[in-house]
Amino acid sequence: MVGNMSIKKYIRLWWLMTSMVSQNAFVSRFGAIIFILGKILRFASFLFFLIILLSRTHALVNYNIWQIIFFYTTFNLVDSFAQFFLREVYRFRTYVISGDFDYILTKPIPTLFRILFGGSDALDIPMLLISIAILVFSIGKIGNITTLGVFLYLSLLINGFIIAFSFHILVISIGILTAEVDNALWLYRDLTAMGRLPIDIYKDPMRFLITFVIPVGIMMTFPAKALFGILSAKLFFLSVIVGLTLLYLSLRLWKFSLKNYTSASS
């Protein structure tokens, strides 16, 4: 049991809310197609840039072309996964300034669940499938991948999702306290965009900053390094500790923000 609801009921509720949001997304099929094509084009454009770049240099910070593609696609998978499940966060500011958040608080559905998972974006599914397909294809090209490496990769990928989840909780907590959500979200997206390539390309102190202070490197780069067998056991466990610590702190801030929430109608 989670709270007063079982996991099965949470899944059913998520599916119901996602179905309703998806119906709105496909009201204009042409618009939905253009949106999906835009996402694919943006992904393909940067992928093409990487191929052109690596065809001339043959390596980037000691990684070959397929390893670099794997880094980039891992970033895209984590980013698309977060956007797919946590799309409701992008609507949260409207709820706060309109007073609809007061209405959400009165419902029996756990507030945090409603705000985070209140409607996944079906338009992100194509990018998720494309990312998974390219990752699988890249593994075949890279070679020398062990079962342990795959296990560590999947473990750190889940850890990356936890960090992304925690960042979104921080954003909505800040939104409750300040009514500012959009700027925080775009700051988050700008920072995570630095993880499209392995963080090895940055020099200290920037590399340290985006690894341990703002754990973009742990989210995006460390999973691929673990797969390649070049991530130490110390950094693996440190990554997990950072992810769990950030989750704990974000939940504490969430509880604090709720206690200090001032209703829009008051």
Domain boundaries in the chain? 7-259
pTM here is 0.87
**How many Cα atoms sit within 13 Å of 128 on the Cβ side?**
13
CA distance 217 to 199: 6
Provide the β-strand partners of residue 60: 63
Instruction: Supply the pLDDT for residue 51.
Output: 87
Instruction: Supply the pLDDT for residue 4.
Output: 53
Residue with tokens 């409701």: 88
Task: Return per-residue pLDDT of the chain as tens, 266 residues.
Answer: 344 567 888 888 888 888 877 777 666 777 778 888 988 999 999 999 888 888 777 678 788 899 999 999 999 999 999 888 888 888 888 888 888 888 888 888 888 998 888 878 788 888 899 999 999 999 989 888 899 999 999 999 999 999 999 999 999 998 888 877 778 888 888 888 888 889 988 888 888 999 888 899 999 999 999 999 999 999 999 999 999 999 999 999 999 999 888 775 55
Contact 190, 110 (CB under 8 A): no
Instruction: Supply the pLDDT for residue 122.
Output: 81
Instruction: Supply the pLDDT for residue 100.
Output: 84
CA distance 43 to 50: 11
Instruction: Supply the pLDDT for residue 1.
Output: 39
Instruction: Supply the pLDDT for residue 123.
Output: 82
Measured on CA atoms in the order 32, 34, 39, 43, is the torsion positive or negative? positive
